[in-house]
Amino acid sequence: MIPLFSGQYERLAVIADREAGLNLPESKRTFVASRLQRRLRATGAGTFDAYLRLVEGDGADGLREREFLVSALTTNVTGVYREPHHFDLLAAHLVETLDHGIRRERKYRIWSAGCSTGEEPLSLAATCRATLGTGWSTQVSILATDVDRFVLEKARDRSEDLELGRLLLTGPNTPFRTRAAAVENPAHLIRKLQTAITYMHHNLTQELDVGGQFDAIFCRNVLIYFSRDAQAKVHDLLRQRIAPGGLFAIGHSERLLGQHPPLAPAGRTAFRRPINDRKANGATCC
């Protein structure tokens, strides 16, 4: 393995923090060195000094390699209906919100923040479809973002993933009934679900370019490599995007950080913005 020395590691840590908000303490040096060996081989860099000259460059090659760097250092652990209690909560919130007419002037908006290869936004879309039935995609819009452009490319192109389609239909936590699963084509299902999803590159440490508030934000198991301060910053940015009465779901091992606006517990690792909190900015459709 090509060695990664302390000074080189410090420079890489600065880049990872700037590009994606990643926190890389000295204790992660062996992990980072191992993860980047493939990039050194792919670029022909024989040493980390040579690799740093590339990744610190201002040109198109440097920009592209920084994207590869972020992809190599982030762990994309995901799954269909992962942490199913959150999807049960979403289904109940959909019924409550749309039946009461609270959001009928616009679509119900969901943000999958850190969507990885698409299992989460597809599970969200499947839950909406199962809950709302015919016409569901005219009532819901889902924004799916990730800092890793390469996993976004995969997320956009899942229509031929028959195993994923079958899991969405017949997985252990599926909201669909067996009878429906027996007649649904898995690939056709994914294509239907994708019509409600917009994929976009986004760094969670920065402001989202899309305006307005969201009725539900899922940011789960995304911030594990962020420093506590960076986690708090991201949670504050996300809190401000939750519409009054909206949901916020985090990962099972994560804690809610940030301060503004205040949120109330709404279930296991789930929170809700008080419905009478009218300090939120005006919502718009995406």
Query: pLDDT tens per residue, the chain (286 residues)?
Result: 999 999 999 999 999 998 888 889 999 999 999 999 999 999 999 999 999 999 999 999 999 999 999 889 987 778 999 999 999 999 999 999 987 655 567 899 999 999 999 999 999 999 999 899 889 999 999 999 999 999 999 999 998 888 999 888 876 555 554 445 455 788 889 999 999 999 999 999 999 999 999 999 999 999 888 888 889 999 999 999 999 999 999 999 889 988 788 899 999 999 999 988 755 444 433 4
The identity of residue 215, as a single letter, is: D
CATH of the domain at 237: 3.40.50.150
110 and 58 housed in the same domain: no
Strands 242-250 and 270-272, sheet pairing: antiparallel
pTM of the model as a whole: 0.87
Q: Are 103 and 97 in contact (CB under 8 A)?
A: yes
Q: Are 281 and 207 in contact (CB under 8 A)?
A: no
Structure tokens at 232: 């708090």
How far is 241 from 234, CA to CA, in rounded Å?
A: 11
- Predicted local distance difference test score (pLDDT) of residue 179: 44
- Predicted local distance difference test score (pLDDT) of residue 174: 57
How are strands ordered across the β-sheet holding 270-272?
197-201, 140-146, 108-113, 214-219, 242-250, 270-272, 264-267
- Predicted local distance difference test score (pLDDT) of residue 259: 78
Q: Which of 39, 66, 103, 146 is catalytic?
A: 146
Q: Which of 35, 106, 166, 191 is catalytic?
A: 35
Structural domain includes residue 46: yes
Cβ atoms within 10 Å of 198's Cβ, excluding its own: 13
27 and 120 housed in the same domain: no
193 and 97 housed in the same domain: yes
How far is 17 from 245, CA to CA, in rounded Å?
A: 33
How far is 200 from 137, CA to CA, in rounded Å?
A: 19
201 and 226 housed in the same domain: yes
Residue 203: domain span: 85-272
How many residues comprise the chain? Answer: 286
90 and 227 housed in the same domain: yes
197 and 130 housed in the same domain: yes
Residue 100 has what DSSP assignment? T
Tally of structural domains, the chain = 2
Structural domain includes residue 80: no
The identity of residue 110, as a single letter, is: I
- Predicted local distance difference test score (pLDDT) of residue 178: 43
142 and 235 housed in the same domain: yes
Mark whether 146 is an active-site residue: yes
Structural domain includes residue 168: yes
36 and 101 housed in the same domain: no
- Predicted local distance difference test score (pLDDT) of residue 78: 85
Mark whether 220 is an active-site residue: no
Structure tokens at 122: 């597809």
44 and 166 housed in the same domain: no
Structural domain includes residue 277: no
Of the candidates 114, 61, 96, the one whose C-alpha atom is nearest the C-alpha of residue 231 is 114
- Predicted local distance difference test score (pLDDT) of residue 9: 97
162 and 58 housed in the same domain: no
List, in sequence order, every beta strand (DSSP E) within the chain: 108-113, 140-146, 197-201, 214-219, 242-250, 264-267, 270-272
Strands 214-219 and 242-250, sheet pairing: parallel
DSSP H/E element including 16 = helix 6-20
Phi, psi of 276 (to 5 degrees): -90, 10
210 and 114 housed in the same domain: yes
Structural domain includes residue 282: no
89 and 61 housed in the same domain: no
Structural domain includes residue 79: no
